[in-house]
Structures are given as C-alpha cells and as structure tokens.
Amino acid sequence: MSDGSLPVFGRRRNETFDTPPKAAPAPMASSAPTAAAVEMARNAPDVVRPEITELRNLCLGRMDATAVASLTPERLLIEVERLISDLATEKRTQLNAREQRALATELVDDMLGLGPLEPLLLDDTINDIMVNGPDHTFVERGGKLVRVPIRFRDWTHLTNICQRIAASIGRRVDEASPMCDARLKDGSRVNIILPPLAIDGPSISIRKFSKKPIDFEKLISYGSLSPPIARVLEIAARCRLNIIVSGGTGSGKTTMMNALSRFIDPAERIVTVEDAAELQLQQPHIVRLETRPASLEGKGEVNARDLVRNALRMRPDRIIIGEVRGAEAFDMLQAMNTGHDGSMSTIHANNTRDALARIENMVQMSSMGLSPRAIRTQVVAAVNIIVQVERQRDGGRRVTQVTEIAGIEGETQLLNDIFKLEITGENATGRLTGRYEVSRIRSSFSERLNYFGLERAWMNALEEN
C-alpha cells in the first residue's frame, strides 16, 4: 500500500505501482541531474562490465511500463538512478557516479527515446546520422562525415530501435519486410534496412529536420547562393513558374524547396505528395499526402502516382511533389500543363540537362506509349526553371545552375543558364571561391513576368550580379 512517498521501482512486476501525487516532494536520495551531467553521461565510454549488464537487466525487470509512462523524463531519470544505486548495493557491485549516471541515462533513453541516438538527435550541429550496424555510427557536421563513439548493445538492441521508429508511424520493419521509409516526431526523415539485406547489421540513415526554417537570407549568409539568385528565384515563385530542384543526395534540394515555398501566396491551396513527409511549408491551407507501402499480403500499397492523380481531384492551386522517382513524372507534367502553375518538385541529377533526360526516362516508365518527341514537347511546355544544387568538396552546399527551359528545336531542348557557378579557387581556410556567370537574354516566360508586373524587377536582379 502507498504511504504517500514516491514510488519505488524495486517492486516486482506483479505488485501495484503507485503513481506519485503531483505535489510530491523530490526524493532525498538523489536530486535532479543537470543537463550537463546528463550530456556527460551520454558521452561516457561504453560500459561493458558483466556486472553492469546484470544491473541493467535487473533494473528493466523491476520497472512497470504503466508507471514509466506516467513520469516525465527528468523524474524517471531520478527514479532509475536511485533504483540502480539500490540494486548495486544489493548485489555489492562497485559503481562510481559517472557509471551510475551513464547507465541511468541509457535506460531512460531506451525507454522514452531512441536509445544511443538521442544525444545525436539533440545536437543541432549534426545534419545526418548514419548507423552501420551496432558498432559503427557516423554523422555529418559542416558537410563532413565523422565517426562518433556511439554504440548499441547488439543487433537486437538496434533492431528494436528500428522497429520503434517504424511503429511510431504505423509501419513495420522485420525480416519479412526489411526496408522502410519513416519519419521521426520532429519530421526527420529515416530510412531503415535490416538483415539479411544489410549484411553487417541493421542500418539507419536519418536526415535531421531543421528546427528553424531556412529562408533565402540564411542561404545567402551560408554562401549557398548570391542575392541576385535569391531575388530571381523569389520572382519565379511569385510568378507561379513551374520549378524543378535538381541535385545529388544530401545536396540541399529539400532545403531549397522549403525556401522557395515561403513565397507562395497564403491564400493558395497547396497539396504535397511525399514518401515521408518532411516539407516545412508555412502556408495555412495545406493538404499533406504520404505514400503507404504494401502489407505483408502485398495489398494496400498507395504510391506517389496514386497520390498525384488524387491530388488533381482536390482542387489544388499548386501541387508540390517531394521527389519524382518514377512513373509519377508523367502525372506531374500533366498537372503542370493543366492549370496548376507554380508546382514544384525535386529530382536526382548531376546537372540541369541530365535532369530533363531523367524526367523523360521516368515518363517512359509510365507506359503511356508516347514518342520521345512528344515527351520532350510536354517537358518543355511544363517546366520553366531547373535549379541545380550541389554539395561540393569543401562541404558547402551551393546553387551551381539556374536554368531556363527556353523551348525545343528539332529533337533538342533549348536551355538558357540564367546563372552558372564558376569555381575560381579556394581561400586560406579551404573554402571554395567562385563567381556566377549571368545570361541577360530575354526569357521565354517574359509575358508571365509582365502579367505579374515583375519583368523590370527580374532584369534589375540580373543586372545586380
């Protein structure tokens, strides 16, 4: 029976767990650890002593899931640390304060978070997290990959973390379905692949969600583009030009899309289509659609093409596709050619001409039986601008091309590089330096610029470079 004191985790599983009253005093045995102490514990070297493993298992056996869910992380950490101290005394195990706090923090992260990944997710300097089995974890900081001293106990521990991530959005990942695209609560994108496909153990790739939306002003301060390019792209978004953002993996395509979307009129209805929702649009009238994989019986799959077709029936002003990967490219072109001006998408390609070739190839995957000439004509009619972004050897992500699709002549699409980056060298810190070559010829969409009253602003932006 409860005597009014705080709950004791040391009770066995079949005993009642008394939830503390809200006004209960803090336990005298331990005070709330500071953030610095918790961080120190998270970064402590891995504890592999057998007696520590025994304490961990005993501690897990004494905890009640319902009680754990009722406590805040701070309060749970206090209780777990006290339980570890009691168990260590009972088992006559010698633990110093650092080991005790490290074990308590590990257990709390496992119960309420994503285990060893928690400190990496809280670190704002990290852009990507890559787990290659339980013993090898890498992160990207400042465009560079570095290994970090993060380890999982074994394959089972890492697999449990993978399954927790997938289950949080109603998906599953196991031997029968060993691949999964998911997202975390903060919007970070996750890819998971398990053995037997991943030979050296479960693999997790996390593209972290930026807590602070990035706009063109920040991109300029990072050196990702110049003020004239920012102004031209702002005008393109306001004039409802159809824009494709092209680049390699991790080059900043989604960041560029988010920055462009800030210039969409708040009164417009936007429908987004993504494999894993990660776009950060600020407008009030947004419908976000997400694909769904097939069940174990092979039923229930909803792919990007299904969602794009459905989006056309939802009276959208703009359709934004997170990434075009396959046959949905045909439906995207149809949307752009049927009154949904201002639509945007991303694509993987090395340069702007390659991006056009990839779109053509993906349209052919739709099995519509169109001739190459007909496909090229549709692409030219639909796409106005391609923005090429690239992660370069110094780790910087930069706009390397802003290309206008000017028309078609015979079988060849005519491209006009409005801006093209030319690397001129590097400075004393190893940072690349360069300048943009500018084309000031009259654009093929000058009538649209005139319609919106922005042609003079467009020309002024080109003259600023």
Domain boundary among 66, 86, 111: 111
For residues 253 and 354, membership in a common domain is answered with yes
Domain residues for 145?
Answer: 118-207
> Rounded to whole angstroms, how far apart are CA atoms 172 and 151?
23
For residues 185 and 63, membership in a common domain is answered with no
> Rounded to whole angstroms, how far apart are CA atoms 360 and 345?
15
Q: What is the pLDDT of residues 362-400, one digit of tens each?
A: 998 876 778 888 899 999 999 999 999 999 988 889 999
Q: Which three-class secondary structure state does DSSP give residue 413? A: strand
For residues 341 and 258, membership in a common domain is answered with yes
HSE at residue 214, side-chain half, CA atoms within 13 A, is 17
User: What is the end-to-end Cα distance of the chain in Å, rounded?
Assistant: 77
For residues 203 and 239, membership in a common domain is answered with no
For residues 90 and 12, membership in a common domain is answered with yes
Tokens 């600023």, residue? Answer: 464
The pLDDT confidence band at residue 77, using thresholds 50, 70 and 90, is confident
Amino acid at 391: R
For residues 356 and 335, membership in a common domain is answered with yes
HSE at residue 146, side-chain half, CA atoms within 13 A, is 12
For residues 272 and 361, membership in a common domain is answered with yes
Average pLDDT along the chain: 82
Q: What is the pLDDT of residues 391-410, one digit of tens each?
A: 998 888 999 999 999 999 88
Residue 7: pLDDT over 90: no
Helix axes 50-62, 73-91, angle to 10 degrees: 120
> Rounded to whole angstroms, how far apart are CA atoms 163 and 75?
26
* pLDDT value of residue 30: 38
Residue 70: pLDDT over 70: no
CATH of the domain at 280: 3.40.50.300
Beta bridge partners of 319: 271
For residues 237 and 371, membership in a common domain is answered with yes
Taking CA atoms, 288 is separated from 245, 280, 294, 299, 332, in Å, by 19, 11, 20, 22, 16
* pLDDT value of residue 292: 85
For residues 257 and 301, membership in a common domain is answered with yes
For residues 278 and 392, membership in a common domain is answered with yes
Domain boundary among 80, 111, 142: 111
For residues 181 and 237, membership in a common domain is answered with no
Domain boundary among 111, 139, 157: 111
Check: pTM over 0.85? Answer yes or no: no
Is the sign of the CA dihedral 376, 382, 385, 388 positive or negative? Answer: negative
Domain count of the fold of the chain: 3
> Rounded to whole angstroms, how far apart are CA atoms 240 and 252?
22
Q: What is the pLDDT of residues 411-435, one digit of tens each?
A: 889 999 999 999 999 888 888 999 9
Q: What are the helix (H) ranges across 193-268? A: 216-221, 227-238, 253-261
For residues 164 and 223, membership in a common domain is answered with no
Render the burial of 124-148: b for 16+ CB within 10 Å, e for the rest: eebbbbbbbbbeebebbeeeeeeeb
